[in-house]
Structures are given as C-alpha cells and as structure tokens.
C-alpha cells in the first residue's frame, strides 16, 4: 500500500466508518461514540469521513438494510464505489466482514473496534471465522483494557496489534430555563434530591443494576423522603422496570423520562450520578457525568475502574443495595467530599477522555507504517 501519509498531503484522507448503529437509532453509547468521533474528524481538513450504517436515518450517509450477510455484501459494493483509504469497522462481525472482503482486493487500511462484551462464547467454526477476520485487520481496538481481556478470553482468541481507544467526552452548558422545563415536564420538585442513571432500560445487565438501585432508593427514603431516581432512555427493558417499580410501591420516587434529546440537562440537575451496571465496556453516560463534575457512584464492572478511582474521583461499590445506599447516604451528608469527587472527575475527563485525543489515536494508527 502506498503510504497514506504522502497521499494525505495532496488530498483529504477518505475514511469510511461501518457501524450497526448511527444517528436517529437506539444505539446508545456506540452511536454517541461514533457521532462525536466523526465530528472530530470533520474538524480536520485532512480527513473526509463517510458512514455506512444498518440502523438509523441519515440522508448524508449510506443506509444499508437487510440481514447480517446481506448488509456485509452490500457494504462491499458501497465501499467499491467510495474507494476509501481507510476503513474503521465497529462492533459485530457483519460490520467487519464487508471491509474484510474489500481489503482482499484493494489496498486499504482496516481497523476494527470492539465496543461491548459478547453475550456468549463463539461456536468452534464461528471462532475460526472471527479469528480470520481479525487477523486481516491492521489493528484491533477496544474501548477499554478490560473489554480487550474479556473479548480474548470469551472468544478464545489471541489478537495481534491490539490497542485501547478510549471514548472522548465534553461538558455542555445547560440553561436554567432548560432545567425548569425538564422539572416541569417530569413533575420533579425543586426540593427533590435527584439521583440519575442514564440509558439503563436498554439491556439486561443494566436493567438488573437499576433494580438493585431501586432497592437502595427504598432504603434511602427513610432518611431522605424527597429523594427521587431519574431513569432516562426507552429500551427493551422499560416496561419490565416500570412493573418492578410498581411492585415495589416506588412509583412516586422513580421518574421514567423515555428518550431525551439532551442528556446534559438531567446531568446538570442531578445531585449524584449512579451507574449500577452488572456488565460494561466503558460507558459514555459515565464519562458524560464526569465531564459535568458530578459525584459518581458506580459498580466496578468492565472498564469503569479505568475511569473511576475509588475515593478520588468517584465511589466504586459492589452490586449490593445496602452498600449502594450507605455510600449515597455518605455523599449526601458530606457535601464537601461529594464536591471534591466531582471536581476530580471533571479534571480526569478533561485530561484523558477527549475526542481530540480519541481522533489523534486513530490517526496515529492509520499513519503507522511498521
């Protein structure tokens, strides 16, 4: 392959991102990761990004429908028209397979990124297939070191050229009128103590964590009768969680918002951000809370300890309702400590988890000639 560095000097680098989730989909953290990464690429005159996606809606990019194999085959033909310099595939095998096929014919740099932990081990033939695809990548990246270790262990793979590419995040200003509108819309009193968990209706491991948090909330109501939990997002487990809240007689203390346009509004409103999940990569919602300087209580699932250092920029807890309740109680009674945790979280986000650094890491991999 001619190397891209000289090529980029005379024309923009043509990068194609292949993803299952894109804008206007229920893609959660993957969608947020990619939209921000693409925006960061667009800020650079040397890069011309395009996106091929399965779920979502965007007339400026390439929407491909059909089953997984059809998606891969159609992706190959779209790539043949675009003629990219670089392919960044994301997540599941069918997002990588089209790029793999294209690379067999055309000189292109292929980088695949894993975002989430697999639900189950691969069958023997599946393992051989995925291993073959990954061996044909120039680099394989992971959104956390923990995810890298789990992918290799669960899939039974030894992956070469593996790199951690953390997500970035940036804080956003929220106006008083936006806060007032949010509180009025969801009937939240200004006197309430607000706990927040973002996107916990989307998968089983988060929904089970939300149930544990609701049990903690029930204990906290004794000392803090005005406390409420705000759960954002509308996902597969929304109805199950609503039924659970009803059965626990906690309907007046748990607010379901459904999908919201601006996640920074409830972040600005909340007193404590809670991320009680049983399985994770490195969640975008957690990084967003860090960027807003919020005191955080989270389980040590997945890559969370790579961002949260216990007692320094947040509190790490076991997935136990008593422990969670005790730590929330401690933060509510020790405001100065809570503020200190939030300030340290913001400093960490601003120094380590930025989209500029994320984009630069990918550019470094793209330009690597070793």
- Write the DSSP string, 85-136: SEEEEESSHHHHHHHHHHHTTS--EEEEEE-S--SSPPPHHHHHHHHHHHHT
Query: Which pLDDT value is given to residue 126?
Result: 86
pLDDT > 70: percent of the chain: 97
CA separation for the pair 61, 42 (Å, rounded): 14
Of 124-128, 220-224, 239-243, 282-286, least confident by mean pLDDT is: 124-128
Rg of the Cα trace of the chain?
Answer: 22
pLDDT bin (cut points 50, 70, 90) of residue 55 is very high
Query: Which pLDDT value is given to residue 20?
Result: 95
The listed range with the strongest mean pLDDT (23-32, 109-118, 339-348) is 339-348
Domain positions in the chain: 4-167+354-367, 176-352
The answer, yes or no, to whether residue 215 has pLDDT greater than 70, is yes
pLDDT one-digit tens code per residue, 276-311: 999 888 899 999 999 999 999 999 998 999 999 999
pLDDT bin (cut points 50, 70, 90) of residue 71 is very high
Decide: 39 and 6 in contact? Cβ < 8 Å. no
Query: Which pLDDT value is given to residue 369?
Result: 81
Query: Which pLDDT value is given to residue 370?
Result: 63
Q: Among 95, 11, 163, which residue's Cα sits nearest to residue 2?
A: 11
**Superfamily of domain covering 176-352:** Glycogen Phosphorylase B; (3.40.50.2000)
Mean pLDDT of 52-66: 96
The answer, yes or no, to whether residue 1 has pLDDT greater than 60, is no
Decide: 144 and 302 in contact? Cβ < 8 Å. yes
Q: What's the count of helices (H) and strands (E) in the chain, helices before strands?
A: 14, 13
Decide: 79 and 110 in contact? Cβ < 8 Å. no
Between the alpha carbon of residue 221 and those of residues 88, 189, 227, the distances in Å are: 47, 15, 6
CA angle 330, 305, 150 (to 5 degrees): 140
CA separation for the pair 121, 319 (Å, rounded): 24
* Sheet hosting strand 62-63, strand order edge to edge: 62-63, 47-55, 13-21, 86-90, 109-114, 139-142, 162-164
Of 25-34, 40-49, 181-190, least confident by mean pLDDT is: 25-34
pLDDT one-digit tens code per residue, 90-110: 999 999 999 999 999 999 999
Class for the domain spanning 4-167+354-367 = alpha beta
pLDDT one-digit tens code per residue, 111-164: 999 998 776 777 888 889 999 999 999 999 999 999 999 888 888 878 888 999
The answer, yes or no, to whether residue 7 has pLDDT greater than 60, is no
pLDDT one-digit tens code per residue, 168-208: 998 899 999 999 999 999 999 989 999 999 999 988 999 99
Handedness of CA 31, 295, 176, 183 (dihedral sign): positive
Query: Which pLDDT value is given to residue 216?
Result: 97
The answer, yes or no, to whether residue 2 has pLDDT greater than 70, is no
The answer, yes or no, to whether residue 38 has pLDDT greater than 90, is yes
Which H or E run includes 227? Answer: strand 227-232
């Amino acid at each position: 392959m001619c190397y891209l560095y000289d090529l980029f000097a005379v024309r923009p680098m043509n990068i194609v991102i292949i993803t299952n989730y894109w804008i206007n989909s229920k893609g959660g953290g993957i969608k947020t990761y990619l939209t921000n990464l693409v925006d960061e690429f667009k800020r650079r005159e040397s890069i011309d990004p395009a996106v091929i996606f399965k779920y979502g809606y965007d007339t400026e990019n390439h929407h491909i429908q059909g089953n997984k194999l059809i998606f891969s085959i159609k992706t190959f033909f779209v790539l043949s028209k675009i003629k990219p310099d670089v392919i960044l595939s994301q997540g599941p095998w069918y997002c990588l397979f089209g790029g793999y096929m294209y690379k067999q014919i055309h000189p292109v740099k292929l980088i695949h990124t894993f975002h989430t932990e697999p639900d189950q081990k691969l069958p023997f033939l599946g393992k051989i297939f995925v291993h073959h695809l990954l061996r044909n990548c120039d680099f394989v990246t992971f959104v956390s070191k923990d995810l890298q270790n789990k992918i290799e262990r669960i899939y039974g793979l030894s992956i070469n050229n593996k790199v951690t590419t953390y997500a970035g995040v940036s804080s956003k200003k929220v106006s008083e009128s936006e806060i007032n509108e949010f509180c009025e819309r969801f009937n939240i009193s200004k006197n309430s103590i607000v706990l927040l968990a973002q996107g916990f209706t989307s998968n089983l491991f988060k929904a089970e964590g939300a149930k544990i948090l609701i049990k903690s909330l029930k204990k906290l109501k004794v000392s803090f009768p005005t406390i409420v939990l705000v759960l954002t997002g509308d996902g597969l487990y929304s109805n199950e969680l609503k039924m659970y809240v009803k059965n626990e007689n906690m309907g007046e203390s748990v607010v379901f918002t459904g999908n919201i346009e601006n996640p920074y509004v409830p972040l600005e409103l909340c007193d404590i951000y809670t991320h009680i999940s049983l399985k994770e990569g490195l969640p975008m919602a957690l990084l967003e809370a860090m960027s807003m300087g919020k005191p955080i209580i989270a389980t040590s699932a997945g890559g969370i300890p790579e961002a949260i250092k216990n007692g320094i920029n947040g509190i790490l807890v076991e997935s136990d309702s008593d422990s969670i309740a005790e730590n929330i109680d401690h933060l509510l009674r020790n405001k100065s400590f809570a503020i200190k945790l939030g300030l340290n979280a913001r400093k960490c986000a601003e120094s380590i988890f930025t989209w500029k650094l994320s984009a630069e890491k990918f550019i470094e991999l793209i330009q690597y000639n070793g």
